[in-house]
């Protein structure tokens, strides 16, 4: 993805796009950035976003080189940079694809009473979304012709609160094998479905916000309630786990939503702002990278340049983003 980053600093990239909004910063501007392990913004080029601040950030060469702030309300929970340089993201009530020049080239608007917190490109022409609703649905949308190529109802009968669909699903993924991996946030389990949408694997866990199939065949799950990231094998047995007690006392996880596995075997865990007051935000970390033996090699805590952390796509990783399973993201 490094090959396309020059497009984001070209002379014809506007400071603000025609469909951009104005995000409202509600935390104090810190006077300095704390000394933390790693190289701060220089550690990884990345596409970054988080709940609570309606902006997608592109970081390269140790600085923010591009931002996009969509109009309208809704939390940004899933972001992708495609191999053609377009940026695809889910904004709760919308899914948008924008060019480096900040032109919206495709969008999906969730019907009233529904929400979309996950999107995944499947080639350059299709997008998988999970739409919370009654019933919730997994859908594959064709961006070229506007058709819905697949639509599968998801179980919802066990949801306690039928007045809101917000807590149903977050980060779902299509795997390299073409199966569907879905974390049921409030039903306390991750379920994998085959191509005919028959359930073939279930793994109980407290509040799975995100689940990704790793290259080694295991599954990496982010548990929001227990503030941990767990790698499980095909029998749902934990083979690796990181929780608060594994970290130094001054590195505190707040609201664990997503985690990425890097090609070198390290894991990056994102710590969002759940349960914190805006004035306290500059004092909390946004992400931590650990080695397989849980050594901390990078801590992101930069509230001068970035906002809250829910997710990032690391652009120094090998793989084609729109090829399912290529990235462990």
Sheet holding 287-290, edge to edge: 255-261, 267-272, 287-290, 296-300
Q: Residue 22 has what pLDDT?
A: 80
The domains found in the chain, sorted by start residue, are 2-25+41-314 (2.120.10.30)
In DSSP notation, 105-131 reads: EEEEEPPTT-EEEEEEEETTTEEEEEE
CA 5 – CA 8 distance, rounded (Å) = 6
Query: Strand, helix or coil at 6?
Result: helix
The pLDDT tens digits of the residues spanning 156-185 come to 755 555 567 988 999 999 999 999 999 999
The pLDDT tens digits of the residues spanning 101-136 come to 999 999 999 999 999 999 999 999 999 999 999 899
Query: Strand, helix or coil at 302?
Result: coil
Whats the size of the chain, residue-wise? 329
Tokens of 154: 């998801």
The pLDDT tens digits of the residues spanning 20-47 come to 888 888 899 998 899 999 999 999 999 9
CA 106 – CA 94 distance, rounded (Å) = 10
HEC readout, 139-201: EEEECCCCCEEEEEECCCCCCCCCCCCCCCECECEECCCCCEEEEECCCCEEEEECCCCCEEE
């Amino acid at each position: 993805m490094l090959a396309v980053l020059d497009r984001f600093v070209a002379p014809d990239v506007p400071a603000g796009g025609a469909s951009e909004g104005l995000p409202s910063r509600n935390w104090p501007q810190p006077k300095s950035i704390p000394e933390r392990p790693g190289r701060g913004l220089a550690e990884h080029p990345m596409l970054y976003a988080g709940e609570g601040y309606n902006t997608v950030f592109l970081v390269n060469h140790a600085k923010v080189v591009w931002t996009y702030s969509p109009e309208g309300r809704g939390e940004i929970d899933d972001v992708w940079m495609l191999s053609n340089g377009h940026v695809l993201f889910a904004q709760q009530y919308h899914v948008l694809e924008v060019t480096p020049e900040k032109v919206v080239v495709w969008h999906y608007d969730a019907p009233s009473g529904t929400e979309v917190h996950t999107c995944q490109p499947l080639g350059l022409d299709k997008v998988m979304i999970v739409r919370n609703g009654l019933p919730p649905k997994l859908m594959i949308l064709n961006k070229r012709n506007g058709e819905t190529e697949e639509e599968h109802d998801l179980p919802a009968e066990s949801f306690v609160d039928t007045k809101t669909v917000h807590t149903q699903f977050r980060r779902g993924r299509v795997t390299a094998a073409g199966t569907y991996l879905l974390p049921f946030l409030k039903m306390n389990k991750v379920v994998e479905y085959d191509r005919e949408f028959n359930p073939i694997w279930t793994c109980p866990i407290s509040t799975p916000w995100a689940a990704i199939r790793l290259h080694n065949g295991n599954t990496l799950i982010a548990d929001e309630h227990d503030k941990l990231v767990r790698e499980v094998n095909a029998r749902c047995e934990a083979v690796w786990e990181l929780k608060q007690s594994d970290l130094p006392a001054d590195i505190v996880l707040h609201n664990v939503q997503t985690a990425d596995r890097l090609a070198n075997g390290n894991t990056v865990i994102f710590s969002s702002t759940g349960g914190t007051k805006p004035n306290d935000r500059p004092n909390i970390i946004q992400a931590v990278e650990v080695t397989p033996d849980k050594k901390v090699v990078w801590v992101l805590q930069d509230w001068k340049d970035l906002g809250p952390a829910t997710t990032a796509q690391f652009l120094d990783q090998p793989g084609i983003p729109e090829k399912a399973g290529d990235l462990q993201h």
